[in-house]
Amino acid sequence: MARGRPTIYTIAERAGVSISTVSLAINHPQRVAPNTRRRIAEVAAELGYRPDTPSGERRGGRRGGVGVAGPFTSVASYARRLNGILTELRGTGIDVTVYDLPSAERVDAPLLDTLPIRPGVDGIIVLGIPLSAEGAARLSAWGPPVVLIDVANSEVGGVRVDDLAGGELVGSHLAALGHRRVAFVHPPQRSFSYVSAGMLRHDGLVRALGRADGPTAVVPVEVTDPDPAAIAEQVLAVPGVTAAFAHTDLIAGRLRAGLIARGIGVPDQFSVVGYDDGELAETLGLTTVRQPLEETGRAGARMLLDLMDQGACESESIILDPELVERATTAPAPA
């Protein structure tokens, strides 16, 4: 092995690829085949390779830039979290590079193994994409600090909302209204090798309903068709349900539309609850769970800045509380 600090030349030689392929894997990973990209990442980790950072200091003594990766164009709530990050970093003199990744709900292999770490990135924030064990290990070995937002991981710290508590808020609200059989409407989970926000919301709903008098049931309904009529048909196919808790406001809004199109009154005949509390929820009058989305972004950015200032790499976890917002889509269960 070549002596001294590893470079893209030594990585290319060890991985058996061209220098240009290594450069693409670092700067434009989406243009490199997954197996090749993984091999390059493994070799880089073995050699202890770290991208060059700028020699100049930024304002406030911070160097280089920050990379922010998440499903910003496919999930509206992450765009709001990104706004919080950018607001917190404004005026720091730090360059921010944003990487748009596919949602974990929309790909066959949702666990993140590698990140597009480019030269000049001295810290990175990952939003909403769960890490594989290998991905977490590579991040830990990388050196500069990493903060996760809306991702629960025992190896890497960050900021997330208490989704278990959010599910409990919904369950307690519906139970108080007399609902005992509730559908939990959610998108597919491609892998069960991690605990998703949806799983925590479901478990919170089950826990709270279980405290109600009499028999209760939470029935998962996995939706793959975004058509409101299809979602309503799936939910109504479940015997005896009088309410539904949807994984997001978007799913809740589509379910509401599908029910109304079938002549079913919301909330007189059927109650619907969403999650996020975005503009859609306010427009439709959805009862929902408010996540402090912008605050998760701001808190994550503050955490990363503190780690960069301290020269530290390990962060602890901050868990923020959600809030139930009662509007016009929930009512007492029909007799």
For 27, 37, 87, 98, 103, the CA distances from 34, given in Å and listed in that order, are 14, 5, 33, 20, 17
Lowest model confidence (mean pLDDT) among 2-6, 107-111, 229-233: 107-111
Residue 312 has pLDDT above 70, yes or no: no
CB 120 within 8 A of CB 51: yes
Q: How far apart are CA 101 and CA 274, in angstroms?
A: 24
**Tokens, residue 261:** 């199109």
C-alpha count within 13 angstroms, C-beta hemisphere, residue 207: 13
CATH architecture of 1-46: Orthogonal Bundle (1.10)
In sign, the C-alpha dihedral spanning 261, 267, 268, 271 is: positive
Residue 59 has pLDDT above 50, yes or no: no
CB atoms within 10 A of CB 262: 13
Counting residues of the chain whose pLDDT is more than 90, the rounded percentage is: 53
CB 105 within 8 A of CB 190: yes
> How confident is the model over 70-118, as pLDDT tens digits?
888 888 899 999 999 999 999 888 989 888 887 655 555 555 555 656 6
CB 147 within 8 A of CB 160: no
Lowest model confidence (mean pLDDT) among 101-105, 207-211, 290-294, 300-304: 101-105
Lowest model confidence (mean pLDDT) among 38-47, 279-288, 298-307: 38-47
* The pLDDT of residue 324: 99
Say whether 163-291 and 1-46 share the same fold: no
pTM: 0.78
CATH number of this structure's domain 58-161+295-320, picked from the four choices 3.30.530.20, 1.10.1660.10, 3.30.565.10, 3.40.50.2300:
3.40.50.2300
> How confident is the model over 157-215, as pLDDT tens digits?
899 999 999 999 999 999 999 999 999 999 988 777 778 899 999 999 999 999 999 99
Residue 30 has pLDDT above 70, yes or no: no
Alpha helices in 237-292 (DSSP H): 249-261, 279-284
Enter the CATH code of domain 163-291: 3.40.50.2300
